[in-house]
Chain A
């Protein structure tokens, strides 16, 4: 693996991605991706399906590895550790301990179906961080109030609507007090009328200063809550700028085409 030392910008970024490349067999899913994400920033990633957005998020959470390039969160080089001067892929334990610092909310809500909402939220702190149950329950109670589920502590996931489940999943991820929250099309699997309640929680989280990387098809959210928007296509970042730059004055014809296609299908 070629490690290219990241350049130091004026304000050091929380996440630094440099020339990240990943292949599935002969298929290059990430092609030389470089991106800086500052502390407190909400970075939206849009683009057609199969463009590598989800794979990039999975790299950020060490759920999948990459072939070359570098990925740094705080001062931690993700995915590889130096042992006797050689970079070796992380052990399962190293990856697991890193994931404590990164929250992930995915498209398919995967609350633990055999546990109640509050049990879901305290599972991470109690089982992974070793927090005492009493402390974890107190924190979880606050979090559930924040996502509007104060009255659902003892409900099982099967008793909740899709939107409520997704909000509980956000609370579960937040309970780990992560440095960054990753959202992988968090509203794509929801019925249209349930989308706004989840986006509302995400928006509130953004205003509270949480660093967020949001892969989304919700252009309105990207426009309103996104500090910056990156557009991916074919494993590359083809455009990166503020929301108004990308949406109103796209430099890339492919971005313009994607936005046009997207809004036409959305209107239809």
Chain B
């Protein structure tokens, strides 16, 4: 027992040396990679700087943000509906939700985008009406589902499936006793949901939600296959004519990185906002 501090000091010193050498090795490796990239003549740092703020890239950036925002909104609202349906006491409603989740989580997102984009070749007319009659409102599928709308539908519906499970997980994480306490005070189920379940669920929903939003942001690059002018489409368009593939992919990556950092900051703010009462 007496020699314990001496031992601790010895272990501490050993750890310091070990930590130090790991850091030095990592630094050396980073320098080597940076030097290799920096001195590669194909890298064209001047191009990266020029295209980073080029109007055409910025237009693509705006489109990417708009698609992300709209698909996130569809995903959130749709996800809440799917989650509530999935937890419904009615077996029919529950089955519909399970079917939706199964279908939209099974089909790859790229395939879903192509299906919505090409729907016109399969269903030339879309609309609402009474089956087997001519009563109703119909429109040309290709006019209704422009490539942009097709992408929003694909991303939004896919997002709703994933959000649905995240929201359901959050609702299930709320202790039954908290809800019963609200009910015992005389709250209706709807009010108990708004006042107690929703704020408590939000706390556990936010971290996976942040993950999902970042995934969605990056998944929007898939819409380049149908030529919606997002960030990725614009970058591809430019390198198809000037062959500076890697520099333009780096331009796109830097913008995705910037947006991801922004999302992470928003997530941190929201997490703090909803963490009231958590023992720290």
Residues of A within 8 A of B (CB): 61, 63, 92-93, 96-100, 104, 106, 108, 110-116, 123-124, 127-128, 156-159, 169, 172-173, 176
Bound-complex Cα distance A115 to B189 (A): 19
Contacts A108-B177, A127-B195 given; does A114 touch B277 at CB 8 Å = yes
A106 touches B177 (CB 8 A): yes
B 188-208 to A, binary, CB cutoff 8 A, 1 in contact else 0: 110100011001100100000
Query: Smallest distance from the beta carbon of A210 to chain B beta carbons, Å?
Result: 17
Given contacts A113-B178, A123-B195, contact A99 B185 (CB under 8 A): yes
Q: List 13 A-B contacts (CB under 8 A).
A: A63-B183, A100-B186, A106-B177, A110-B177, A110-B178, A111-B181, A114-B200, A114-B274, A114-B277, A115-B276, A156-B276, A156-B279, A169-B181
In the complex, what residue of chain A is closest to B175 when comparing beta carbons?
Answer: A110
Residue of A nearest to B195 (CB): A127
Q: Given A92-B188, A127-B191, A158-B278, answer yes or no on A112-B178 (Cβ-Cβ < 8 Å).
A: yes
Residue of A nearest to B274 (CB): A114
B145-193 with Cβ < 8 A to chain A = 175, 177-178, 180-189, 191
B178 touches A63 (CB 8 A): no
On whether A96 and B187 interact (CB within 8 A), knowing A106-B177, A110-B180, A111-B181, the answer reads: yes
Residues in B neighbouring A124, C-beta threshold 8 A: 185-186
Measured CA separation A106–B276 after assembly (Å):
24
Top 7 A-B residue pairs of the complex, sorted by shortest distance between their CB atoms = A100-B186, A110-B181, A110-B177, A158-B279, A156-B277, A99-B186, A124-B185
Set of chain A residues within 8 Å of B274, measured between Cβ atoms: 114
In chain B, positions 232-280 with a C-beta closer than 8 Å to chain A are: 274, 276-279
Complex: A157 Cα to B279 Cα, angstroms? 9
Determine how close the nearest CB of chain B comes to the CB of A228; give it in whole angstroms: 24
Q: How many residues of chain B have a CB within 8 Å of chain A?
A: 24
Q: Which residue of A lies closest to B277 (CB)?
A: A156
Query: In the complex, what's the smallest C-beta–C-beta distance from A133 to chain B, in angstroms?
Result: 14
In angstroms, Cα B175 to Cα A106, docked, is 14
Question: Which A residues are CB-close (under 8 A) to B181?
Answer: 106, 110-112, 169
- The CA of A158 and the CA of B279, in the complex, are separated in Å by 6
Main secondary structure of the interface of B (DSSP, over half): helix
Which residues of chain B are within 8 angstroms of A110 by Cβ–Cβ distance?
175, 177-178, 180-181
Give min CB distance, A125 to chain B, whole Å: 9
Contact B187 A128 (CB under 8 A): yes
Q: A172: shortest Cβ distance to chain B, in Å?
A: 7
A99 CB contacts on chain B under 8 angstroms:
183-186
Known contacts A63-B180, A99-B184; decide if A92 and B189 are in contact (CB<8 Å). Answer: yes
In the bound complex, residues from chain A placing their C-beta under 8 Å from that of B278 are 113, 158
> Contacts of A61 on B, CB cut-off 8 Å?
184
- Known contacts A63-B180, A114-B200; is-contact A157 B277 (Cβ 8 Å): yes
Q: Please name all residues of chain B whose beta carbon is closer than 8 Å to the beta carbon of A111 when the two chains form the complex.
A: 181
B191: which A residues are within 8 A, CB to CB?
A: 127-128
Q: Which residues of B contact A100 (CB under 8 A)?
A: 185-186
Q: Give the chain A neighbours of B187 by CB distance below 8 A.
A: 96, 127-128
Bound form: Cα–Cα A128–B183 in Å: 10
With contacts A114-B277, A158-B278, A158-B279 taken as known, whether A96 is within 8 angstroms of B203 at the C-beta atoms is no
**A143 vs B208: C-alpha distance when bound (angstroms):** 40
Complex Cα–Cα for A98 and B175 (A): 24
C-alpha spacing A158/B276, complex, angstroms: 10
A150 CA to B182 CA in the complex, in Å?
23
The answer to whether B177 touches A159 (Cβ under 8 A) is: no
A106-B177, A110-B175, A114-B200 given as contacts; is B185 within 8 A of A172 (CB)?
A: yes
Instruction: Give complex CA distance A20, B279 in Å.
Output: 43
Q: Please tell me if the beta carbons of B188 and A104 are within 8 angstroms of each other in the complex.
A: no
Chain A residues lying within 8 Å of B276, measured Cβ to Cβ, are 114-115, 156
- A110-B180, A111-B181, A112-B178 given as contacts; is B277 within 8 A of A96 (CB)? no
Q: Which of A93, A111, A112, A123 has the most CB of B within 10 A?
A: A112
CA of A124 to CA of B186 in the docked complex: distance in angstroms? 8
